[in-house]
Structure 1
Amino acid sequence: MLELSGLTKTYGGRAVLSNLSHRFAPGRFVAIMGESGVGKSTLLNLIAGLDAPDSGEVIVDGRPMSALDDDAATGLRRTRMGFIFQAFHVLPHLTLHQNVALPLLLNRSGTERAEAMLAAVGLGGRGADFPRQLSGGELQRVAIARALVHQPALLLADEPTGNLDPETAGGILRLLRAEIRATGAGAIMVTHSHAAADMADEILLLTRDGLQQA
């Protein structure tokens, strides 16, 4: 489903990723760990097509991302991917229900599942609230519900438990696993947390030399 071929990305003259290649097996929950600054978040952005590599290819469902125009890439992200951003990117002018339902609306689907996902992340009954009424941990849970609501084929998660206490983090990770198992989706989670990584099927370590088994 997902293959990286010779990915290189440079910022300010420094190669963050250099000739990175890896093939991800379909339907696997993969955790990626590594030191700060090694390029973990950059890698997720490249996979999602939110940034472009200097060279190399991200191949999703057999199609190179570079071969897609903007509309096709946006459509692929909208229908096939879910992204949990480290900075949440919850829209402040929308209610929690509207934020979570957004992927469903964009895909012209019914929005009933939005309330169920809010309940699944511990925010049931708060759909009419606005993001300004929430703590950082609660905002993170809204972002997780939004990423899962349309049952994506590929979930990309950047430190999805970074603002959560250990008990809540455990519940969220179990939810991620359950959703992935129910749909047969693949998932790639960047994390510094060994407890979070232990919930994955596979742990990879990103270093200057590439991805390797941890």
Structure 2
Amino acid sequence: MLELRKLSKTYGGQQVLAGLDWVFKPGEFVAIMGESGVGKSTLLNLIAGLDRPDPTPHAPIVLDGVAMSALDDDAATRLRREKMGFVFQAFHVLPHLTLEQNVALPLLLNRMALHRAREMLAAVGLGGRGGDYPHQLSGGEMQRVAIARALVHKPALVLADEPTGNLDPDTAHGILMLLRNEIKASGACTIMVTHSHAAAEMADNTLVLTRSGLHIGQGVNRFAQENA
């Protein structure tokens, strides 16, 4: 589904990521942990095509059989729009749009039927509130809107960057339960960067990013094992 092949990234002569190899499977929910500054957000930006990896003889990032490095900016934008969904720590919900309009944005960009926006709002527990505006919501409710927007166009890949970093523990647990349930229902591969061990427990697997590469984390996915 998503393959990393000797993926490296260098900024100003300093190598941030070095030779990462991994295969992410359809429907898999993976948490990526690691110390601050090790390159977790850089990795997400590279996967999303928002940044370019170091040149290699191989295709360093392959999504659904498409080599990202072979795409120009327009083609990368189209692939990102069609194949990916994003959940951010800061929500990035547009304040001047209603909740339904926010969720419908990926549908408009992909020329898909807009009724799914209403369906997704209902799925995340905000049915009947499509005409409300973001200023009427709590932080947890805004993150629910962000999840609905990320999944509304049925992407193959969901990228989540610290999606519960601004939420209290109880709200964060509810958001992660919702995210897990929705991605399992849709079959989207999901990669979540997090500092939180509680968040990582909700994933199927946890990888730890270090200067030497990606490594399988130990003993932090009890929730996924117990609720498989």
Per-residue deviation at 1:133?
Answer: 4.0
Whether 2:110 is the aligned partner of 1:107: answer yes
Would you say 1:7 and 2:2 are equivalent positions?
no
Alignment partner, residue 144 of structure 2: 141
What residue in structure 2 maps to residue 203 of structure 1? Answer: 206
1:67 paired residue number: 70
TM-score of the superposition, structure 2-length normalised? Answer: 0.85
Q: Which runs of 5+ in 1 are unaligned?
A: none
Match of 1:212 in 2: 215
Q: In percent, how many aligned pairs have the same letter?
A: 75
Q: Secondary structure, in 3 states, of the residue corresponding to 2:35?
A: coil
- Kept in 1, the 8 Å contact 2:33–2:207? The answer is yes
Aligned partners of 1:31 and 1:204 also within 8 Å: yes
Contact 2:6-2:19 within 8 A present in 1 as well: yes
Q: CA deviation at 1:83?
A: 1.1
Report how many residues are paired: 214
Measured against aligned partners, the alpha-carbon deviations of 1:36-76 in whole angstroms (never above 9, x if no partner) come to 11111110111011111123421111221011122221221
Aligned to 2:130: 127
2:222 is aligned to none
Q: Deviations over 1:70-122 (max 9, x none)?
A: 22212211111111123322223322211111111111112222223233334
Change beyond 3 A, Cα 1:100–1:176: same
Match of 2:21 in 1: 21
Contact 1:140 1:163 in 2 (8 A): no
- 1:97 aligned to which of 86, 100, 105: 100
Q: Structure 1 counterpart of 2:49, which letter?
A: G
Quick one: which amino acid aligns to residue 85 of structure 1?
F
1:29 corresponds to which letter in structure 2? Answer: F
Hey, what's the Cα distance between the residues in 2 that align with 1:204 and 1:111? 36
CA contact (8 A) 1:4 1:20 kept: yes
CA deviation after TM superposition for structure 1 residue 13, in Å: 3.3
State the shift of 1:165 in Å: 2.4
SS at 1:162 equivalent = coil
**SS at 1:45 equivalent:** helix
Q: CA deviation at 1:142?
A: 2.1
Counterparts of 2:104 and 2:152, CA distance in 1: 7
User: Is the alpha carbon distance of 1:141 and 1:84 closer, same or farther for their aligned partners in structure 2, counting shifts above 3 Å?
Assistant: same
From the superposition, tell whether residues 141 and 91 of structure 1 become closer, same or farther in structure 2 (CA, over 3 Å). same
Q: 1:4 to 1:170 in 2, by over 3 A?
A: same
Partners of 1:163 and 1:86 in 2: how far apart? Answer: 7
Asked if the contact 1:121–1:172 (Cα under 8 Å) also holds between the matched residues in 2, the reply is no
Task: Encode CA deviations 1:131-168: one digit per residue, 9 max, x unaligned.
Answer: 34444443333222210111211111111111222232
1:177 is matched with which residue? Answer: 180
- Secondary structure, counterpart of 2:174 in structure 1: helix
Long gaps (5+) in structure 2: 218-228
Over the aligned positions, Cα root-mean-square deviation in angstroms equals 1.9
Normalising by structure 1, we get a TM-score of 0.90
